[in-house]
Structure 1
Amino acid sequence: MASIKKKLDKNGNVVYQVQASNGRGRRVWRTFRPELTWSSRTVQRELQRFAAELESQLEDREVLTREETIQQAAAQAVEAAKVKTLRQYAGAVYLPEKAATVSEKTRASYTQLLEQHVFPVLGDVPMQDITAAMLKALLAGLPERFAFASRVKVYAVLHGMFKAAVMDDTLDVNPMDKVPRPKQSKDAALSAEHKAFTAEEMRYILRCLKEEPLKWQAFVLLLIDTGCRRGEACGLQWRAVDLDAGTITIERNLQYTAERGVYETMPKNGKVRVVDISPDVAELLRALRRTQPVTVRWVFTQDDSAEPMHPDTPTRYFQRFGKRFGIEHFHPHKLRHTSASIAITNGADVVSVAARLGHSDSSTTLRMYAHANEESIRRVGQTVRDALREPAQKKA
Structure 2
Amino acid sequence: MDERRNPCTRATLDQLLDRWLEVADIEATTRMGYVNKLNKHVRPVLGNLPVGRLDAETLESFYASLRRCRDWCGGKAYVKHRVEGEHTCTAKCRPHVCKPLSASSVRQIHWILSGALSRAVRWRWIAVNPAGQAEPPAPPHPDPQPPNPAEAARIINKAWRDPDWGALVWLAMTTGARRGELCALRWQHLDLDAGVLTLRRSAYLDEHGELREKDTKTHQQRRVALDPETIEVLRELRGRYLDRLAQLGADADTADYVFSPEPDNSRGYRPDTITQRYGRLATRLGIDSHIHALRHYSATELINAGVDVRTVAGRLGHGGGGTTTLRVYAAWLSESDQRAAGTLAARMPPRPVTPTQGIVSTSPYQAIAAGLREQIANGQLRPGDQLPAVAELATALGVSVGTAHRGVALLAAEGLVRVVRGRRATVAQPRLKNSPDGSGDNLLQGAEHRPVPRQSAHL
Give TM-score scaled by structure 1 length: 0.66
Q: Secondary structure at the match of 2:292?
A: helix
Q: In the alignment, which residue of structure 2 is the partner of 1:208?
A: 158
Q: Secondary structure at the match of 1:141?
A: helix
Structure 1 CA distance for aligned equivalents of residues 144 and 216 of structure 2: 26
In the alignment, is the contact (CA less than 8 A) between 1:162 and 1:175 conserved in 2?
A: yes
Which ranges of structure 1 fall in alignment gaps of 5 or more residues?
A: 1-78, 378-396
Instruction: Give the structure, 1 or 2, with the largest relative contact order (CA under 8 Å, sep 6 or more).
Output: 2
Structure 2 CA distance for aligned equivalents of residues 197 and 151 of structure 1: 28
- Could you list the per-position Cα deviations for residues 15-59 of structure 1 after superposition, in whole angstroms to 9, with x for gaps in the alignment? xxxxxxxxxxxxxxxxxxxxxxxxxxxxxxxxxxxxxxxxxxxxx
Taking a change above 3 Å as real, the CA distance of residues 317 and 368 of structure 1, as seen in their structure-2 partners, is farther
Structure 2 CA distance for aligned equivalents of residues 368 and 105 of structure 1: 25
- Could you list the per-position Cα deviations for residues 49-98 of structure 1 after superposition, in whole angstroms to 9, with x for gaps in the alignment? xxxxxxxxxxxxxxxxxxxxxxxxxxxxxx9xx6711112111x221222
Aligned pairs (5 A) from 1:85-234? 85-91=12-18, 93-98=19-24, 100=25, 102-142=26-66, 143=70, 144-184=99-139, 189=141, 192-211=142-161, 213-234=162-183
- Could you list the per-position Cα deviations for residues 325-355 of structure 1 after superposition, in whole angstroms to 9, with x for gaps in the alignment? 1222x32222112211222232211111111
Aligned pairs (5 A) from 1:296-375? 296=253, 297-304=256-263, 306-328=266-288, 330-370=289-329, 372-373=330-331
Structure 1 CA distance for aligned equivalents of residues 117 and 200 of structure 2: 35
Matched, 1:295 2:252: yes
Structure 2 CA distance for aligned equivalents of residues 332 and 365 of structure 1: 19
Which ranges of structure 2 fall in alignment gaps of 5 or more residues?
A: 1-7, 71-98, 246-250, 335-459
Shift of 1:181: 2.9
Q: In the alignment, which residue of structure 2 is the partner of 1:270?
A: 219
Taking a change above 3 Å as real, the CA distance of residues 347 and 249 of structure 1, as seen in their structure-2 partners, is same
Q: In the alignment, which residue of structure 1 is the partner of 2:455?
A: none
Q: Secondary structure at the match of 1:169?
A: coil
Structure 2 CA distance for aligned equivalents of residues 124 and 151 of structure 1: 20
Q: Secondary structure at the match of 2:331?
A: helix
Shift of 1:302: 2.2
Q: In the alignment, which residue of structure 2 is the partner of 1:12?
A: none
Taking a change above 3 Å as real, the CA distance of residues 149 and 373 of structure 1, as seen in their structure-2 partners, is farther
Shift of 1:151: 2.4
Single out whichever of 117-126 and 356-365 deviates more from structure 2: 356-365
Shift of 1:108: 0.7
Please say which structure displays the higher CA radius of gyration.
Answer: 1
What amino acid does structure 2 have at the position aligned with 1:216?
W
Taking a change above 3 Å as real, the CA distance of residues 267 and 286 of structure 1, as seen in their structure-2 partners, is same
In the alignment, is the contact (CA less than 8 A) between 2:60 and 2:136 conserved in 1?
A: no
Which protein has the bigger strand share?
Answer: 1
Shift of 1:368: 4.3
What amino acid does structure 1 have at the position aligned with 2:223?
V
- Could you list the per-position Cα deviations for residues 346-389 of structure 1 after superposition, in whole angstroms to 9, with x for gaps in the alignment? 2211111111111231244235424x428x79xxxxxxxxxxxx
Shift of 1:209: 2.5
Select 2:233's aligned residue among 281, 284, 287. 284
Structure 2 CA distance for aligned equivalents of residues 263 and 175 of structure 1: 37
Q: In the alignment, which residue of structure 1 is the partner of 2:201?
A: 252
Structure 2 CA distance for aligned equivalents of residues 198 and 85 of structure 1: 51
Two-structure CA RMSD over aligned residues (Å):
2.3
Q: Secondary structure at the match of 1:274?
A: strand
In the alignment, is the contact (CA less than 8 A) between 2:198 and 2:223 conserved in 1?
A: yes
Which segments of structure 1 move beyond 3 Å, counting only runs of 4 or more?
143-148
Taking a change above 3 Å as real, the CA distance of residues 207 and 291 of structure 1, as seen in their structure-2 partners, is closer
Structure 2 CA distance for aligned equivalents of residues 367 and 130 of structure 1: 37
Taking a change above 3 Å as real, the CA distance of residues 90 and 355 of structure 1, as seen in their structure-2 partners, is same
Structure 1 CA distance for aligned equivalents of residues 101 and 228 of structure 2: 40
Q: Secondary structure at the match of 1:373?
A: coil
Count of residues paired in the alignment = 285
What amino acid does structure 2 have at the position aligned with 1:174?
N
Structure 2 CA distance for aligned equivalents of residues 96 and 333 of structure 1: 32
Q: In the alignment, which residue of structure 2 is the partner of 1:3?
A: none
Give TM-score scaled by structure 2 length: 0.58
What amino acid does structure 1 have at the position aligned with 2:284?
R
Structure 2 CA distance for aligned equivalents of residues 366 and 319 of structure 1: 25
In the alignment, is the contact (CA less than 8 A) between 1:197 and 1:335 conserved in 2?
A: yes
Structure 2 CA distance for aligned equivalents of residues 145 and 291 of structure 1: 48
Taking a change above 3 Å as real, the CA distance of residues 249 and 123 of structure 1, as seen in their structure-2 partners, is same
Q: In the alignment, which residue of structure 2 is the partner of 1:243?
A: 192
